[in-house]
Structure 1
Amino acid sequence: MGQGEGEGGQVVELILKHFGTLRDPRVARTRRHALLNVLVMALCGVIAGADGWKQLALFARTRARWFATFLEIPHGVPSADTFRRVFCALRPQAFEACFRSWVQEMAQTLREEVVAVDGKSVRGALGKALAGSPLHLVHVWATQQRLLLAQAAVQGAPGEVKAIPELLALLDLKGAVVTVDANGCTAQVAQAVVQAQADYVLCLKGNRGPLYAYVQDLFAPVREGQARARVDSHSRSEEEGHGRHEVRSAWAVALKLEACPKSASTWPKLKTAVMMRRERTQGGKTQVQWHYYLTSLPPKARKLARIIRTHWGVENGLHWSLDVCLGEDSRRIRDHNGAQNFALLSRMALTALRRESTEKPGVPSRRKLAGWDNDYLLRVLMAVFTDL
């Protein structure tokens, strides 16, 4: 059978819809394997547990007959060197653009959804271009849908400041609430959020200088327990489980911009300052942390506390899953492009495994099942491509 026949062919056609614009980086006379075939086999391999070029080639070889039922593979399946050459030469920015096209068609409306922007280092991937530093990626994560909307590689945490506005400009964020940690707490990021017709909640730390000092002073009476401390709203919640007791308190104050430092005037639609207190007791030890935030939302402490807590869903929903379920931090790919492109394959695989809902076990068990059962692997692919 050839390409386009059966359910496998249907999936290939839909992959082609979103990834068919990728330019093949190889010289024409050296192309024994079509770029689309390499991409399909690599994605299937990562879903089924392959990690690295050699494992992708081994997976493709063991599934050659199955691939032949819906792909034209007159020269068999790619070698490990072919997988490596293709993904090390492929432009990550072009691959990511195709990924965004795929995801945006899959995503539901983001209105009133918390969209978390956060960075992650792929600690095992060391590229020459980064002079030995870990590959660092910025992610834009739809927290309720548990869906990665975009990613970009940057030169460590400082590079996030430039990358975040560029990423946000590529997405339809109308009505969303964008949350960013302290690395992205800048007027430029706030401006990018407002231009996208969304609201922002940005974590404020000492790198904002006078503005941080002003907000600290604003909430000093609250921290000191003064009875007449001025706040517009306050909320408190408690949670207990797994041997841990946690108390979260939030205070919100409407800002008077004329009283703020001059730098506040560059922040569009800035309305509110928030202070969070987290008290965690575990094993007889208590830790207290204080955090500050700036937001374009009104001073409603309960709602803001929920948004701030929701932001950290990116850690469990994406970063933890990539490390624990897909072993990302232990992956050793030394080429910068190769590491970035394999990271995107991992995120595509995680999305597919999450959206296949006929099997109750979690991602690790689904991944093993995809490696054992071709029919289930095809079902995983169908779950993310045929619903578009």
Structure 2
Amino acid sequence: IAYVVAVIGGSEGWEDIEDFGHCHLELLKKYGDFSSGIPVHDTIARIICKVDPEALQQAFISWMQETQQLTQGQVIAIDGKTLRGSYTRDDRQSAIHMVNAFSIANGVVVGQLKTDAKSNEITAIPELLALLDIQGALVTIDAMGTQVDIAHTIIDKGADFLLAVKGNQSTLHQLVKETFAAQPYDAENVTKIEANRERKEYREYQAIEAPKERVDAKWPTIQTFGKVTSYRVHKGKGTLHTRYYISSAILSAEELAYAARGHWAVENQLHWVLDVTLNEDACQISRGDGAENLARLRQATVNILKKETSKLSLRRKRRRASMDSAYLDKVINA
């Protein structure tokens, strides 16, 4: 826990963790044996780099299952992120890629898995799903994860899927497009508008019953086809995009809107936070399992900081925790 506490307080590297420990030693004594003081940064590095990443991963998932209660239909977004600074110095192509499972309603990571060096998200996603309790959830994945095996894995876990469909599933993609093209012009839809000073986006969501008899039998039962049409105006220039989805759940247009839009929260509420607030991409640690283990400590940090109920931004929470041991103790026990 001492290492997690140090990351909460703004530490990014081994020397930071050592310095943080000296500043908050009395607080840390509440949570561990520091009778010999704070270890030097080289010792800290050796310890974190030698921790079994699979054991740490399982501990993280068990912690989240004990503290986060999934509700029926809750949206879990699956998406990947590369740790850009984690490559070994003699091979700039070896950066670690993590696949994250993100709870939209709670804004927290519920699990993550490093992709194998010779693999990709398509093989990692079923492995991650196998570790999680997702019964009753609606799992959203972008087009790369729209694979028959992944769809079956989600159903076998007692959950439903909402998968984006593109050219990598050309026959299914064409069927969804044709089915929507045959719909009446005034078919039921939901429209959303988002705007700021430089950008305005209009999105139209449509959800219709899937023609099950026309879907290839290799897929699990698909109940809903979804269509999202977005028109974005940015600095006077407009762009139009249409995205298609399949779902094993019976979804209304409003439910499709929540889940499809919610999927991108993993970018705004997790990946952006890791990069901008916790400087993940700037971290150059690549030794042993240090990069993977620190990635999990950062994700634990995001979850813990979000549990603290003050209105401060995550950046301000970290800064205050670095200066105020009483507040840091409050964050730990939130």
TM-score bracket, normalised by the shorter chain, equals over 0.9
Q: Is structure 2 residue 211 aligned with structure 1 residue 250? A: no
Task: Say which of 156, 178, 193 aligns to 1:238.
Answer: 193
Q: What's the CA shift for 1:111?
A: 1.4
Question: Structure 1: any 5+ residue segments left out of the alignment?
Answer: 1-39, 223-227, 384-388
Aligned residues: 334
Q: Deviations over 1:346-368 (max 9, x none)?
A: 111111111112x3321111111
Q: Is structure 2 residue 237 aligned with structure 1 residue 269? A: no
After superposition, residues 104-115 of structure 1 pair within 5 angstroms as: 104-115=65-76
Distance (whole Å) between structure 1 residues aligned to residue 118 and residue 178 of structure 2: 28
Task: Give the match's secondary structure for 1:277.
Answer: strand
Q: Is structure 2 residue 143 aligned with structure 1 residue 143? A: no
> Which amino acid is 1:274 matched to?
G
Q: Deviations over 1:153-196 (max 9, x none)?
A: 11489611122122222222222111011121111111111112
Distance (whole Å) between structure 2 residues aligned to residue 50 and residue 315 of structure 1: 23
Distance (whole Å) between structure 2 residues aligned to residue 309 and residue 296 of structure 1: 18
Distance (whole Å) between structure 1 residues aligned to residue 142 and residue 36 of structure 2: 49
Counterpart for residue 139 of structure 2: 178
Task: Give the match's secondary structure for 1:279.
Answer: strand
Closer/same/farther in 2, CA of residues 170 and 110 from structure 1, 3 Å limit: farther
Q: What's the CA shift for 1:221?
A: 5.3
Contact 2:203-2:231 at 8 Å conserved across structures? yes
- The structure that has the greater radius of gyration is 1
Closer/same/farther in 2, CA of residues 132 and 336 from structure 1, 3 Å limit: farther
Q: What's the CA shift for 1:76?
A: 2.1
Question: Structure 2: any 5+ residue segments left out of the alignment?
Answer: none
Distance (whole Å) between structure 1 residues aligned to residue 296 and residue 272 of structure 2: 16
After superposition, residues 1-388 of structure 1 pair within 5 angstroms as: 40-68=1-29, 71-127=32-88, 132-155=93-116, 159-220=120-181, 228=184, 233-260=188-215, 264-298=216-250, 300-335=252-287, 337-357=289-309, 359-383=310-334
> Which amino acid is 2:163 matched to?
L
Closer/same/farther in 2, CA of residues 376 and 265 from structure 1, 3 Å limit: same
Task: Give the match's secondary structure for 1:124.
Answer: coil
Q: Deviations over 1:24-48 (max 9, x none)?
A: xxxxxxxxxxxxxxxx221111011
Task: Give the match's secondary structure for 2:96.
Answer: strand
Closer/same/farther in 2, CA of residues 281 and 63 from structure 1, 3 Å limit: same
Contact 1:232-1:254 at 8 Å conserved across structures? no
> Which amino acid is 2:96 matched to?
L
Q: What's the CA shift for 1:310?
A: 1.1
> Which amino acid is 2:7 matched to?
V
Contact 1:126-1:336 at 8 Å conserved across structures? no
Contact 1:193-1:199 at 8 Å conserved across structures? yes
Distance (whole Å) between structure 1 residues aligned to residue 90 and residue 78 of structure 2: 24
Distance (whole Å) between structure 1 residues aligned to residue 104 and residue 307 of structure 2: 15
Distance (whole Å) between structure 2 residues aligned to residue 66 and residue 211 of structure 1: 57
Q: What's the CA shift for 1:286?
A: 0.6
Q: What's the CA shift for 1:251?
A: 2.6
Contact 1:271-1:296 at 8 Å conserved across structures? yes
Distance (whole Å) between structure 2 residues aligned to residue 133 and residue 70 of structure 1: 36
Distance (whole Å) between structure 2 residues aligned to residue 267 and residue 154 of structure 1: 25
Closer/same/farther in 2, CA of residues 80 and 271 from structure 1, 3 Å limit: same
Contact 2:99-2:114 at 8 Å conserved across structures? yes
Contact 1:135-1:336 at 8 Å conserved across structures? no
Closer/same/farther in 2, CA of residues 345 and 130 from structure 1, 3 Å limit: farther
User: TM-score, normalising length from structure 1?
Assistant: 0.80
Greater share of residues in helix:
1
Quote the RMSD (CA, aligned, Å): 2.3
Q: What's the CA shift for 1:70?
A: 5.1
Q: What's the CA shift for 1:238?
A: 2.5
